[in-house]
Amino acid sequence: MLHTADTSDEYEKKEKCGLFGIWGPKEASQITYQGLFAQQHRGQESAGIAVSDGHTLNGHTGMGLVSQVFNPRMLREELAGHAAVGHVRYSTTGSSKLCNAQPLLRQYLMGPVAVAHNGNLINAALLRQQYEEHGHIFQSTTDTEIIVHLLAKPRHVEKHDPLPHVLKHLQGAFSLIFLFPNRLEACRDPWGIRPLALGRTADGHWCVASETCAFDAIGAVFEREVEPGEIVRIDDSGIQSRRFDHPATERAHCVFEHVYFANPASKIFGQTVHIARREMGRQLAREAPVQADYIMPMPDSGRSA
């Protein structure tokens, strides 16, 4: 069951989202809240968390900041479960409305699924038109919903492992976390455009986040990045990896992550953001020298200081 709450009106469009997922701890929703709070800079329009108790999924989304959408009682009672996926949103495709808040929680032939997406699918409009012509009804205007319709397609459902086949249909940037009742799946597009990292808590529970600063917030350690073209499955038996595509010959990392968007303390694309910005300042001094006492990274200069 999905609960929604609307706490704000219009927000200007931005360009990134933050993901967090974890499998194993009984307080999964509370930990996910902390992981999202640490990534609040990645999305301030809406927030959501979906949880699994091993049999069903339950979720809550709302407009506004993480602290406005959730409260301790809700996390403890309404969102009880041992696995969770969370999302903070800036809109790219789809307007800033409650129906577009994520994770998208849907029911299809194989059961419930919750999907959290950071990226932009360039073929979503074409796919949506094709599905609508065949009678599919969409409940949102976000490109993320087309992924659920791909999952639910009978020709895909009958495959032994549908997810890799579904991902091969997507074009563009996507870092995704899927929550099913019995597992969590994290994947990244073959170009590695958006960041996605794997971590492990002090108790040994695997977690996934857009930025490593989320791991710092929950006392987890960064293990590695989810590789471009990789699917990482996390369940009660541990962690498994498989591929849906070969990594692209040349990476296409989003330059705004290091330049502008990510937390200076995070490690993105193999390098700490603060260090990357410092090196950019040095290169700037080489290429465009001026009489200056100090070069300041913007924004979040106070964090680096």
pLDDT value, residue 11: 30
Which of 17, 187, 207, 213 does the annotation list as catalytic?
17
pLDDT, one tens digit per residue, over 200-259 is 999 999 999 999 999 999 999 999 999 999 999 999 999 999 999 999 998 899 988 988
Q: Is 17 a catalytic residue?
A: yes
Helices (H), 20-114: 28-38, 66-69, 72-73
Say if residue 2's pLDDT is above 60. Answer: no
Say if residue 277's pLDDT is above 80. Answer: yes
Say if residue 3's pLDDT is above 70. Answer: no
pLDDT value, residue 216: 97
> Which carries the bigger pLDDT value, residue 29 or residue 284?
29
**Whole-number percent of the chain with pLDDT over 90:** 76
pLDDT value, residue 284: 86
- The arithmetic mean of pLDDT across residues 38-57, rounded, is 96
What ranges do the domains of the chain cover? Answer: 2-243, 255-304
- The arithmetic mean of pLDDT across residues 155-166, rounded, is 94
Strands (E), 172-283: 172-180, 183-188, 197-200, 206-209, 221-225, 230-235, 238-243, 267-268, 271-272
**Whole-number percent of the chain with pLDDT over 70:** 90
CA distances to 176, 218, 256 from 37, in Å:
19, 10, 21
pLDDT value, residue 285: 86
- The arithmetic mean of pLDDT across residues 118-130, rounded, is 94
Around 86, how many Cα atoms within 13 Å sit in the side-chain half-sphere?
A: 37
CA distances to 111, 140, 158, 162, 250 from 154, in Å:
13, 21, 6, 10, 34
- pTM here is 0.89
Among 3.60.20.10, 3.40.50.150, 3.40.50.11900, 3.40.50.360, name the CATH number for the domain at 2-243.
3.60.20.10
